Amino acid sequence: MVKVIIVVPVFNESAVIYKVLKAIPKKINGVSKIDVIVVNDGSTDKSQFEVERAGFSTVEHVINRGLGAAIKTGIAYARAKKADIMVTFDGDGQHNPSDIEKIISPIVQKKADLVIGSRFKKLKKAPLDRYFLNWFANFITLLLYGVATTDSQSGLRAFSKKALNLIDFKGERMDFSSEILLEAKRNNFKKAEVPIKAIYTEYSRKKGQKNSNAIPTFARFLVRLLR
């Protein structure tokens, strides 16, 4: 009996969220139960309506607290529901639902505690600015946290029960992504990276990490290290 909880953080995704949720697989090999929970991070558009129309449950943040905070809420939910595996899946349609099976497979086979769906492991087509920003984020993650990765900012991840119970991070915005890797190092998680296919549309690019966020994110890193 393997219970998987898929956490979908959502902030103003009314244009795509219905389609994204409906595309999430209902059955996965080796998994007995799949539960999808949407963390509505203070959306001010019709996201909540669209999620309910699609027939999914939500945990609502009454005000926007950032992606990291939404993921942490998802972790708290998954712990409370005693999930065996938790998957984070972006609500902007950037991920391919068929990759979910790929990223939970190493955990089901007990080969990993944390699996990162890497968009850059087998690089095919990525916008140049995304490629550079990701390289920069990976470099900073290596420099400050001593963790090497090919995609520190990926939104498609899977956590084993052990990882789910031990992980703790402070970052509430985009900066949490690298902190997860630090937590993996601190707790000696077995880490795996699985190549995934990112779907770069005009919408997902607009909704994803902004290039201009790189500097404030880096500043938050430093303050956390110095405090």
Partner 1 sequence: MFTAIQILLLAFVIFAISRVYLRLKENVISARVAFFWFLIWLAALVGVSLPATTTRIAEFFGVGRGVDIIVYISLALLFYLIFRIYVMIEDLRHQITYLIREIGLSGSPKIRKNRKRSKK
Using CB under 8 A, list all residues that contact partner 1: 37, 39, 57-63, 65-66, 69, 72-73, 76-77, 80, 170, 172, 220, 223-224, 226-227
Q: How far is the CB of 82 from partner 1 (least distance, A)?
A: 13
Taking alpha carbons only, the member of 88, 93, 92, 120 closest to residue 104 is 88
The end-to-end CA distance of the chain, in Å, is: 43
Amino acid at 119: R
Closer to partner 1 at the Cβ: 59 or 199?
Answer: 59
Q: Which helix (H) or strand (E) holds 5?
A: strand 3-10
Cβ nearer to partner 1, comparing 41 with 113: 41
H-helix or E-strand spanning residue 48 = helix 47-53
Q: Output Rg (C-alpha) for the chain, integer angstroms.
A: 16
CB of 62 to partner 1, least distance (A): 6
We find the least distance from the C-beta atom of residue 166 to partner 1, in angstroms, to be: 18
Tokens representing 127?
């916008």
Of 171 and 208, nearer to partner 1 (C-beta) is: 171
CB of 185 to partner 1, least distance (A): 22
By beta-carbon proximity to partner 1, the closer residue of 124 and 227 is: 227
